[in-house]
Amino acid sequence: MTFTLKPLFILSLLFFSCNTGNLEILADIDGSLEEVSAIAITNNSGLYWVIEDAGNSNNLYALNSKGNIERNITITNAKNKDWEDLATDSSGNIYIGDFGNNNHKRKEFKIYKVLNSELTKDKAEAEITTFTLPKDLKSQDFESFFIWDNTFYIFSKNNKHTDVLKVENKEGEHEAFFVTSYKFDGKGNKITSADISKDGKNIVLLNHEKVWQLSHFKGEDFFGGDIEALPFKHDTQKEGVSFLNNKTIIITDETNKHDGNIYKFNL
């Protein structure tokens, strides 16, 4: 009896842990990081860069292929008010989006630029872009952005629609420009992370249960082309997305009754 039950129990655990729909688990995230809110991949680094959100330290972490912390960089001139997303550029610089705003009372938002040359150090001083909202736009929560054509495109986290703003990728103080607003069908449509492919032809917007793929758009009319919702068949608190290549994305989720993971998803 004992010898027959153990293998069955183990098999059931394996089945449960791999029940991730179309997601492929690449690694478990280091257990010391409980609230990973973003992921970024720089050119030819082989590392997964992550941050934690509000209430955690002002540190940028690099994880290896096993999900273990390989680098830990303290951003000396930054405070983690509510770090929500990461972005990269073609030079390998990493940008930290400090624009979370759960109580909708925040008036000033920041983006920290960590130079590629600083990514091998224990401490780094970031360049800072500060922005405010357009005067006719109410304060709201933001958790997603990417860089395209040397411009930050920032997406609000609302249940039925998202507002898109843009800010110049330049140090100093700026007022954001309103780009567009898009209303999704159905419920549960809050966007938690975003990225654009290196060829600039595809955008992904992340949700706990799915990802939207935007393609065949012209200019910054991102919702003017094809919009396809790709379900995961797997519901966890997914907070980070980054293109691995033009057809594959990498996703992270926070620890919530399970270990946080790094996933791969083919578009």
CATH number at residue 194: 2.120.10.30
pLDDT per position as a tens digit, 27-68: 999 999 989 999 999 987 899 999 999 989 999 999 999 999
Residue 15 has pLDDT above 80, yes or no: no
Whether 169 is in a domain gets the answer yes
Look up the domain containing 47 and give its range.
25-266
Residue 153 has pLDDT above 80, yes or no: yes
pLDDT per position as a tens digit, 106-131: 999 999 999 999 999 999 999 999 99
Whether 130 is in a domain gets the answer yes
Q: Domains in the chain: how many in total?
A: 1
pLDDT per position as a tens digit, 209-236: 999 999 999 999 999 999 999 999 888 9
Q: 172-175 and 127-132: which strand pairing?
A: parallel
CB 70 within 8 A of CB 33: no
CA distances 243 to 92, 124, 201, 255, Å, are 14, 25, 12, 22
pLDDT per position as a tens digit, 169-185: 999 999 999 999 999 98
Percent of the chain past pLDDT 70, that is, above it, reads 90
Whether 20 is in a domain gets the answer no
Whether 1 is in a domain gets the answer no
Whether 110 is in a domain gets the answer yes
Whether 3 is in a domain gets the answer no
Going by pLDDT thresholds of 50, 70 and 90, the confidence category of residue 187 is confident
Whether 2 is in a domain gets the answer no
Residue among 164, 154, 116, 110 nearest 132 (CA): 110
Encoding tokens for residue 76? 């000396």
Residue 4 has pLDDT above 60, yes or no: no
Question: Which phi and psi angles does 156 have, rounded to 5°?
Answer: -80, 155
Whether 9 is in a domain gets the answer no
pLDDT per position as a tens digit, 59-97: 999 999 999 999 999 999 999 999 999 999 999 999 999
Task: Tell me the pTM.
Answer: 0.91
Looking at residue 10, what is its pLDDT? 37
Residue 20 has pLDDT above 80, yes or no: no
Going by pLDDT thresholds of 50, 70 and 90, the confidence category of residue 143 is very high
Looking at residue 63, what is its pLDDT? 98
Residue 256 has pLDDT above 70, yes or no: no
Going by pLDDT thresholds of 50, 70 and 90, the confidence category of residue 2 is very low
